A and B are shown apart, each in its own frame.
Chain A
Amino acid sequence: MSVLEPKTSFQRIFLPTLAWTIAIIFFFPIFWLVLTSFKTDADAVKPEYLFIFQPTLENYMNMTENYDYWRFAKNSIITSVFATAFTLFVGIPSAYAMAFNPSRHTKDILMWMLSTKMLPAAAVLYPMTFLTKNFLGVFDTHFLVIIVLSLINLPIVIWMLFTYFKEIPKEIIEAGKMDGVNTWGEIKDILLPLAWGGVASTALLCFIFCWNEAYWTVRLTTTEAATLSKLIEGNRAPEGLFFGRLSAVSAAAVGPIVVLGWFCQKQLVRGLTFGAVK
């Protein structure tokens, strides 16, 4: 903007204050969570120790020694990485086909895919548990978690990729056809280099969704394939509320993804706004 206008006091004082207030309101629970994770379970529930307390690493030690944190973390990484990879593996060709060779049903298919997200997950909880446990015998396996995470995220991933691919002029792909590349070459040599930013944003977002997924990962696993969501869930109730311990587990579960998100902020914003911000 080239026109310099004196800022009104509204812009100078009110807006920043509002922004900070909102940011603090949103940030406070996380701050509180991290703080609590350094308290003993006894201190955690005492209001007088809200900010001032004797910090301890006991909860974290406890977590890695007694609760097998690393196994859950490993499962989270394995399932999220493979689910993201698989989702892209299926999603990229699908979105490519819909963006560059649309049929008259393409719009309907896209809508239909999105509509699957409107089905309440609880509605299929019983059949899913029953089938995977009693018939398919895949309950509590990495395979099941990967497939479920992939299927949950596939619609949104295809939608995002479709939006990015749509931005690429059709003629460039056609020029590739004239130059003799096959379909795989079109994707590898032309589409992906051009849509790289969009694909990366999509992958990142998909990974985060996989990592954070709790509804199914908690219900379809017990020990073998249990992820960090399950670890939090498992520390929640049985012996009463151990806030310190629970906080440590939670902080350790969300920590990696927060760090990842921090480093990839730019990509994420682009991803979340569907490329509207360039």
Chain B
Amino acid sequence: MAGLTLRNVAKNYADVNVIESIDLDIKDGEFVVFVGPSGCGKSTLLRMIAGLEDITGGTIAIGDTVVNEVAPAKRGVAMVFQTYALYPHMTVYKNMAFGLKQAKTPKDEIDKRVRAAAEILEISDLLERTPRALSGGQRQRVAIGRAIVREPSVFLFDEPLSNLDAALRVQTRIEIARLHQRLGTTMIYVTHDQVEAMTLADKIVVLRGGNIEQVGSPIELYETPDNMFVAQFIGSPKMNFFKAEDLTKKGQAMLKGDVDRLGIRPEHFTTTDVKSALVVATPDLVENLGENALVHCITEGGMEFIVKTTDLTKFKQGKKIGLTADKARVLGFNSTTQKRIG
């Protein structure tokens, strides 16, 4: 078991700078999720930790050892690939045993570990099959099993659920969370899906364009995002931003100092009379999800935004309505620096 320390980590491909300079501390046993839009460098960062990608600048330490020049298999990390990357010509058993065999582990020890991992993942009866004869979900388990048997000090997952269908994705997500509880090993998990990030992580690292936007617990990112990017990236539907012309007098009064945008999440609105409202809006379209509904509204300034509500009776299409929110839920931003103020 081990934590990780990243210092000024950078990556260039030829003359393209993919990762600028990343500093990050990961505690032993933590479940850390790298999240960000596609192409932001999540996989690259993970692959540098794995040792599959050279590190252009800075240092990566696992435990107390700087591993920049250490071969992947010697870093004590195990990786689960997005495409599973099982060895097609080997049985499930051999797939799982392969790494241990390379490490010259005694045969009976290999057998013990493979069977124990298969037990945990409920794939004991698949051991003699080849990957070809497995479903997507089963392949995923084998890929995880291959990582478990090596008893690594850090698990690395690169979008492990993205090739599964929706139902299986939720189920496997829960199983990965359970696996973390059970093993207590450090896990680093890459995804572009903020829901996966929120549900799994002890700590989320939001990346954009090769830089860290913010590091924090899911609740910190949700409640106190550092900037407009994180505010919109975490939470679904996205946070709404209002500028002066979209707000009422009362709303505009909250634009103080550098604050020129108010951020309010769709789920934090309450309806009120027009006088005490922060925003006066005209409902335009309703998406009813059953337990709640998304109401697409238009501000007086002509901006479209979303309100999430459980009480649709207040919203009439085309009829102006007042909306407000708990003061603590209204965040102030500066649109030039993109930073949250206060």
Contact = CB atoms under 8 A, between A and B. Distances in A.
Interface of A: 104, 169, 171-172, 174-181, 185, 189-190, 193-194
A177 B89 contact: no
A172 B143 CA distance: 11
A138 to B, nearest CB: 42
Interface in B38-97: 50-52, 71-74, 77-79, 81-83, 85-89
A255 to B, nearest CB: 36
A222 to B, nearest CB: 48
Contacts of B50: 178
Interface of B: 14, 50-52, 71-74, 77-79, 81-83, 85-89, 98-99, 102-103, 146, 150
Contact of B98 (A169, A171, A179, A194): A179
B238 to A, nearest CB: 33
Contacts of A180: 71-74, 99, 102-103
A175 B89 contact: no
Nearest to B101: A179
A254 B83 CA distance: 47
13 contacts: A169-B83, A171-B82, A172-B87, A174-B79, A174-B81, A175-B87, A177-B52, A177-B73, A178-B99, A179-B73, A179-B102, A180-B99, A180-B102
Given A175-B79, A180-B73, A180-B99, 8 more contacts: A104-B14, A171-B83, A175-B146, A177-B51, A180-B74, A185-B102, A189-B98, A194-B89
A171 B73 contact: no
A190 B73 contact: no
A194 B83 CA distance: 17
Nearest to B104: A180
A193 B89 contact: yes
Contacts of B150: 179
Contacts, number: 58
Given A190-B87, A193-B89, A194-B89, A175 B102 contact: no
A264 B215 CA distance: 60
Nearest to B77: A178
Contacts of B103: 180
A34 B146 CA distance: 59
Contacts of A179: 73, 98-99, 102, 146, 150
A176 B88 CA distance: 12
A172 B86 CA distance: 6
Nearest to B98: A179
Given A177-B52, A177-B72, A178-B50, A171 B85 contact: yes
A236 B64 CA distance: 78
A193 B89 CA distance: 7
Contact of A178 (B79, B82, B83): B79
Contacts of B81: 171, 174-175
B72 A172 contact: no
B71 to A, nearest CB: 8
A176 B146 CA distance: 11
Contacts of B99: 178-180
Contacts of A177: 51-52, 71-73
A172 B103 CA distance: 18
B85 A172 contact: yes
A176 B87 CA distance: 9
A116 B140 CA distance: 46
Given A177-B73, A178-B78, A179-B73, A169 B85 contact: yes
A189 B94 CA distance: 12
Interface-centre pick from B85, B86, B88 (highest chain A CB count, 10 A): B85
Contact of A174 (B52, B77, B89, B98): B52
B72 A178 contact: yes
Contacts of A181: 73, 102
A172 B84 CA distance: 8
Nearest to A179: B99
Contacts of A169: 83, 85
Nearest to A174: B52
A172 B72 CA distance: 14
Contacts of B87: 172, 175-176, 190
